[in-house]
Amino acid sequence: MAGERRQETTAIRHQPLRLAVIGLGNIARSMIELCWREGGGRVALVGVLVRAPRAAEAEAWLGGRAPVTTSVPDLLAVRPDIVAECAGHAALKVFGEPVLEAGCDLVTLASGAFSDRAFEARMRALSRERGRRILVPSGAIVGIDGLAAARHGGLTRVVYSGTKPVNAWRGTAAETAVDLDGLTEPATFFEGSAREASSRYPMNANVTATVALAGIGFDETRVRLIADPAARGNLHALDYEGAFGHARIEIQGRPSPTNPKTSMLTAFSLWRTLIDEAGAAIRVG
């Protein structure tokens, strides 16, 4: 059965991709709006999972366009082809394994959860056992395709630097590392491995985990996190070199208007992954 479903997902689809979503925060809503506006019948939203206290709000926002549930068994009962996890690290650790066990592909932006070695090992093993995939969109950064390609020739150095406005770091460990209110110039408040960055700054640094997964791993990837009182958006810089040569890529991303910790590009990246899975005739990157 798993082999048969794998064959279906690697061919051009003749039926809409059945999508279920875990969480209904800023990223999920932006992605669902893209589905309604640009899906063109290629992606069908078949269910949304939220916490019980948020169910009525979710039903009102969805307006009857998809059923709302508060339990994983009920979500999986609608037989999705793919489940988009949009609720963060904790949700991925709770729901990731049941989704794969049920024979569904999984797409997640909470790549920082894989900094937990044991969890990453379990998810990789279960993916192979069930013949299902774990898809990690590039999120707020660009150049991940080139990094992943360069890895096969050998990488010697990968450095990610993330610069965000002061407000984007409020409510995180940055508040104990630097005086955010007193900054008059950019301040680097964290330098270390991607493993440490992705676990200490889960709301801001999932991109570091994505870089690590695409390149040379959590422990060898170096990370710098910077608070800049003059920054107008989120600046992501990726610097890597190896047998292929040297690359430096920067993106000045605009933050989401409803969540300064999230770049607008993140939801677009998630939607692009789903559209490709729905059966793009020409797939680039």
By annotation, the residues acting in catalysis are: 236
Instruction: Output b/e per residue, 116-141; b: 16+ Cβ within 10 A.
Output: beebbeebeebbeebbbebebbbbbb
Contact between 85 and 112 (Cβ < 8 Å): no
Whole-angstrom Cα distance, residue 215 to residue 155?
A: 8
Among 145, 167, 187, residue whose Cα is nearest residue 262: 167
Q: Report the 10 Å Cβ neighbour count for 4.
A: 8
- Beta strand segments in 4-139, E: 17-22, 43-49, 68-69, 82-85, 105-108, 134-135
